[in-house]
A = this chain, B = another copy of it.
Amino acid sequence: MTSIMPTQRLRGETTLVGDMQPVSASTSSIEQLDTPALLLDETRMSRNIARLRGGLAGLGVNLRPHLKTPKSLEIARRVMDGPAGPAAVSTLREAEQLAEGGVRDLLYAVGIAPGKLERVSALRRRGVELSVVVDSLDAAIAVAKQSRISRDPIPTLIEIDSDGHRAGVRRELAGQLVSIGRVLHDGGAQLRGVMTHAGESYACDSVEAIGAIAERERSEAVACAALLRDAGLPAPVVSVGSTPTAHFARDLSGVTEVRAGVFVFFDLVMAGLDVCTVDDIALSVLATVIGHQPDKGWIVVDAGWMAMSRDRGTASQKLDQGYGVVCDVDGVPYPDLIMARANQEQGILALRDGSAAQLPHLPIGSLVRVLPNHACPTAAQHDHYTVVQSGSREIVGQWSRFRGW
């Protein structure tokens, strides 16, 4: 099951793209990797997955993992109910790649552009139960038309705006909601219900606040499904979710599935929200020390924003973590050491302002791991995961990532 192509180059290997060899997983260590490299702690990931699955099972709701975070067939297989799904995706490219790997139940969870509908139909002709999302009459008309042209009723959810954060129909606009539903249902599409995403949960300052947003996410979605049903329209699916609300919802009555993505890895933004601890973060970037500026208290490494991404999600939280929290090669954080600044291929490590800690002794060539602000953009800077277990430097797998649209 373990995909080992394309591989991370081992240090000293000099082959060019196109003739890279798989690493011999049983004999290699992360100390042999060329840096920067994206590391995945599988032990932590498995624990994170088990935690959310357990929580949702207790609430009697199914998980539809959002694969926009891992973008990996290997991880999909570890987080889905079974090899066929279900799962959510953020691009049709993800759907196509997962379909190649045997996944059959997919929700493309971004409002559909009419020009993408032929790709949707093509996937459906290949046996993929792919559903789409609309939040306007124009998009509904386009989906209905494509359903008729392709003689295939495309399953469609109506996006609900439960918190003013991005797209979707607000519950107060019941007439619009029902009109969209009717265009789909009467026009030849397969109206499946509603979906919403509580994006506002990322801005909470307590788990109580997250719990309140989770309840609003649930109640708005359930109410909108009821509006459709009251109008005589089908709405078997009520899909909600964000990683914070998925973990702190106390009641999911009326919800049929929860979507969440970043929970697989967690990150510093989630730790800042108290959704997880720093020790739960399964993703890190391995970097090598390449210089020092002792008068400034800086250690320079060969991972900059190209390896970390430009995401600075913790900048608006109580504890700004810079471009990431710096750990030793085994993943143990150094006290108060963060990546304070980043150039394209250089990261500048420094103690937090006001820290009484000592800068660690890290000679040139030393390895560190840097935990990311936001797992999704950091992972997207890399083509594959190098997989390790907690407390070990041994490479146990190389899993490739999807990319593009």
Residue of B nearest to A91 (CB): B345
CA A161 – CA B292 in complex, angstroms? 12
Pairs across A and B, CB under 8 Å, 17 listed: A12-B115, A14-B122, A16-B97, A17-B96, A17-B97, A34-B92, A34-B115, A110-B302, A138-B365, A166-B346, A167-B293, A167-B300, A306-B380, A310-B312, A344-B377, A380-B381, A382-B404
CA A288 – CA B139 in complex, angstroms? 12
Known: A11-B119, A37-B405. 4 other contacts (CB 8 A): A34-B119, A34-B405, A113-B290, A114-B364
CA A111 – CA B118 in complex, angstroms? 49
Taking the closest CB of chain B, its distance from the CB of A197, in whole angstroms, is: 9
A96 contacts across to B, CB distance below 8 A = 16-17
A131 within 8 Å of B (CB atoms) = no
A139 contacts across to B, CB distance below 8 A = 290-291, 364
CA A11 – CA B112 in complex, angstroms? 13
A405 contacts across to B, CB distance below 8 A = 9, 34-37, 307
CA A310 – CA B139 in complex, angstroms? 28
Query: A residues within 8 Å of B by Cβ?
Result: 9, 11-14, 16-17, 34-37, 68, 90-93, 96-97, 99-100, 110-116, 118-119, 122-123, 135-136, 138-139, 142, 161, 164, 166-167, 199, 288-293, 296, 300, 302, 305-307, 309-312, 341, 343-346, 348, 363-365, 374, 376-377, 380-383, 403-405
Taking the closest CB of chain B, its distance from the CB of A383, in whole angstroms, is: 6
A93 contacts across to B, CB distance below 8 A = 17
Which of B13, B36, B142 is A364 in contact with, Cβ under 8 Å? B142
CA A91 – CA B344 in complex, angstroms? 10
Q: Are A364 and B138 in contact (CB under 8 A)?
A: yes
Copies of this chain present:
2
Q: Are A115 and B403 in contact (CB under 8 A)?
A: no
CA A116 – CA B35 in complex, angstroms? 9
Q: Are B11 and A116 in contact (CB under 8 A)?
A: yes
Residue of B nearest to A363 (CB): B138
A296 contacts across to B, CB distance below 8 A = 164
A363 contacts across to B, CB distance below 8 A = 138
Q: Are A118 and B403 in contact (CB under 8 A)?
A: no
CA A16 – CA B167 in complex, angstroms? 29
A199 contacts across to B, CB distance below 8 A = 343
